[in-house]
Amino acid sequence: LTSDHVRIVEVGPRDGLQNEKKSISMDTKLELIRRLAKTGVTTIEAGSFVPAKWVPQMASTSEICEHLLTTPPKAQDTIAYNYLVPNIRGLENLVKIMETTGVPADATGSTSKAATTTEVSLFAAATEAFSQANTNCSIAESLERIKPIVSLAKTKNIRVRGYVSVALGCPYEGPDVDPVKVAEITATLLEMGADEVSVADTTGMGTAPRTMELLLALKAAGIANTDLALHFHDTYGQALVNTIVGLEHGVRIFDSSVGGLGGCPYSKGATGNVSTEDLVHTVHSLGMHTGISLEEMSKIGSWISGELGRANESRAGKATVSR
Ligand code: HMG
Ligand code: MG
């Protein structure tokens, strides 16, 4: 990564779709991923190995994963497909599919079928109340649960991403989440072997000053910007403002969702992620690069919003398609 390259992690097919009320066909999900793969984006969150009774929209993740491994969408670059795993069982289910299909996690492996890499994301929260709501256990228990998941992933060459939720505000405990606590959990995930940690403003309560305060706490804990991603939900319209703070501080990995899809089932009232189109537009306006075509991404935002019967939440996306 050069200092003016920003890597965008497209979370629409997972964070975006997990909260949709309307049921979404697997064909639509796969078509979304197939289209995203052609935009220049290099990491796509494709699903979540969670129990269907917790998140019904992610129930088809096994089929999606199998499909992406055996019939990868055409793309210019190697694409990393990432799956959320809440516990060891989630990872075991993913590994089973990889072994059945014979496609290794790392595309540099020997099989020519592997035009993709496979990654996982693990998640912990910065408040006890959110940890209980989202993972049915305390923060300490969730970190204990994560250790063997990271170990198993490493033995299978699977890259690991960690998340720290509610880093800038909690639906149960309010906006004043302790940045030192966020930094401690981030450091713990990295020490366990996570390859990067995405610090998440789940509720969108973050403001520019508190984002800066958080980044300084992460720095004080010795966390390098290269190990860090930022994940902003846009509930209060502050995601791009906070992104600029992150960019100025030196962070170069950001998560976003095409069309601004999404929300979190355990964070009432929180809206979707910042839209990928708006993020790409902002990054490009600063003379920095993403490798992503704003035009192609905008067409997808417009298409998927129509498929889901919801408003397109991307300002830059709407402006781009109507040009
Ligand atoms: P639990 O109920 O304590 O788990 O949930 P359990 O071990 O007692 O199992 C309950 C049932 O699920 C059992 O079945 C298990 O067999 C089954 P039953 O006996 O009732 O028939 N089960 C599974 N099935 C399929 N796959 C599995 C699996 N594991 C158990 N992997 C658990 C604990 C962690 C599983 C649950 O709390 C959970 O799934 N939580 C995840 C919730 C979630 O997905 N939240 C949204 C994603 S996180 C997010 O959006 C935030 C993020 O975007 C960043 C941000 O913005 O903050 C990443
Ligand atoms: Mg999220």
Which of 152, 168, 160 has the alpha carbon at shortest distance from 236?
Answer: 168
Ligand 1 center–CA 304 separation, angstroms = 27
Whether 264 sits among the annotated catalytic residues: the reply is: yes
**How high is the pLDDT of residue 242?**
98
Ligand 1 pocket, Cβ-based, cut-off 6 angstroms: 15, 18, 48-51, 54-55, 84, 86-87, 89-90, 123, 134-136, 163, 165, 200, 202, 231, 233, 264-265
Which of 155, 143, 147 has the alpha carbon at shortest distance from 95?
Answer: 155
- pTM, two decimals, is 0.96
Check: CB of residue 69 under 8 Å from CB of residue 107: no
Looking at every residue in the chain, the average pLDDT score rounds to 94
Ligand 1 center–CA 124 separation, angstroms = 12
Atom of ligand 1 nearest to the CA of 11: 53
Mean pLDDT of 187-205: 97
pLDDT digits (tens, 9 = 90+) for 3-20: 899 999 999 999 999 988
Burial class (CB in 10 A: 0-12, 13-18, 19+), 235: buried
Task: Report how far residue 249's alpha carbon sits from residue 233's, in angstroms, rounded to the nearest whole number.
Answer: 19
210 or 114, which is more confident: 210
Structure tokens at 117: 């890499």
309 or 225, which is more confident: 225
Mean pLDDT of 81-88: 98
**How high is the pLDDT of residue 104?**
85
Check: CB of residue 67 under 8 Å from CB of residue 100: no
Instruction: Quote the strand ranges of 89-186, DSSP E.
Output: 116-125, 159-165
ipTM above 0.90, yes or no: yes
Check: CB of residue 64 under 8 Å from CB of residue 45: no
The label of the residue with tokens 């949709």 reads: 20
Task: Report how far residue 284's alpha carbon sits from residue 243's, in angstroms, rounded to the nearest whole number.
Answer: 13
Check: CB of residue 19 under 8 Å from CB of residue 233: no
**How high is the pLDDT of residue 266?**
64
Residue 130 pLDDT exceeds 90:
yes
Can you state the angle between helices 61-70 and 26-36, rounded to 10 degrees? 40
Atom of ligand 1 nearest to the CA of 53: 12
Mean pLDDT of 277-296: 98
Burial class (CB in 10 A: 0-12, 13-18, 19+), 21: exposed
**How high is the pLDDT of residue 114?**
45
What is the band of 110 on the pLDDT scale with cuts at 50, 70, 90? Answer: very low
pLDDT digits (tens, 9 = 90+) for 54-78: 999 999 999 999 999 999 998 888 8
φ, ψ (nearest 5 deg) of residue 174:
90, -175
**How high is the pLDDT of residue 22?**
82
316 or 323, which is more confident: 316
Residue 111 pLDDT exceeds 60:
no
Q: Which of 50, 139, 149, 165 has the most ligand 1 atoms within 8 A of CB, as the residue to mutate?
A: 50
Q: Is the dihedral of CA 106, 291, 121, 263 positive or negative?
A: negative
